[in-house]
């Protein structure tokens, strides 16, 4: 008779996500994961298959949480400029509060970019961000907040690229004034 699982998979993925986010994929050993999750290797392999598969599950959880937060801000926005500023400012504040963590998507791109599953997940996360921004900018254009001469898709790609750059700069521990100057300039793209 098979043993029943004695741990919550979702909680385990959340804890693994936090560990990977703090330490990075390469610096997180199987022993680190077993200790963090308080499970044995048999349970680990039965539940997750491998360290790589758990990492991808963790990355998917991260992008889901980040995407949900971003979607709520952008889809509930009555005005695009304050919503975009809120999104960008919240990322800057998060990076300033804990620059060693950074963004798990950016960390994955720089640390695991040669791994096909990780690269695919990073691409999907960036496309999701781009799509959310493009949709919000298109709605803003329909409301008359964005000039008809602006291309919402091009603006979304610029902002997506800007966000990734901000996430990297945040890890470089530059001061808040540097990032706020960059944010002010990026916001001018919406004028």
What gap in Å lies between CA 75 and CA 79, rounded to an integer? Answer: 10
What gap in Å lies between CA 152 and CA 22, rounded to an integer? Answer: 35
Ordered by start, the domain boundaries in the chain are: 59-190
10-residue mean pLDDT series, the chain (191 residues): 65 94 91 94 92 94 90 90 92 84 88 84 93 94 94 96 88 84 93 90
> Which pLDDT belongs to residue 5?
53
Question: Left if phi > 0, otherwise alpha if psi is -120 to 50, otherwise beta: which for 139?
Answer: alpha
Handedness of CA 173, 190, 160, 140 (dihedral sign): positive
Architecture of domain 59-190: Orthogonal Bundle (1.10)
Phi and psi angles of residue 178, each rounded to the nearest 5 degrees, phi first: -60, -50
Q: DSSP states of 166-179 as a string?
A: HHHHHHTT--HHHH
Q: Is 95 exposed, middle or buried (0-12, 13-18, 19+ CB in 10 A)?
A: buried
User: How many Å separate Cα 84 from the centre of its chain?
Assistant: 16
DSSP H helices, the chain, are 9-23, 30-37, 41-48, 51-75, 80-97, 104-112, 116-142, 152-171, 176-187
> Which pLDDT belongs to residue 1?
43
> Which pLDDT belongs to residue 157?
97
> Which pLDDT belongs to residue 99?
77
Q: Contact at 8 Å (CB) between 108 and 59?
A: yes
């Amino acid at each position: 008779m098979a043993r029943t699982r004695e741990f919550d998979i979702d909680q385990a993925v959340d804890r693994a996500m936090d560990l990977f986010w703090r330490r990075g994929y390469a610096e997180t050993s199987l022993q680190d994961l077993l200790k963090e999750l308080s499970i044995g290797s048999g349970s680990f392999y039965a539940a997750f298959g491998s360290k790589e598969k758990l990492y991808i599950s963790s990355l998917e959880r991260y992008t889901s949480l980040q995407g949900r937060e971003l979607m709520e801000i952008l889809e509930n926005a009555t005005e695009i400029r304050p919503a975009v500023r809120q999104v960008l400012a919240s990322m800057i504040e998060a990076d300033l509060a804990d620059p060693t963590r950074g963004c798990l998507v950016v960390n994955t791109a720089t640390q695991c970019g040669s791994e096909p599953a990780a690269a695919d997940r990073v691409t999907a996360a960036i496309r999701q961000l781009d799509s959310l921004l493009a949709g919000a900018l298109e709605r803003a254009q329909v409301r008359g907040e964005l000039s008809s001469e602006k291309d919402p898709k091009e603006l979304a790609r610029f902002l997506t690229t800007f966000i990734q750059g901000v996430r990297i700069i945040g890890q470089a521990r530059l001061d808040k004034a540097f990032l706020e100057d960059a944010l002010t300039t990026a916001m001018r793209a919406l004028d």
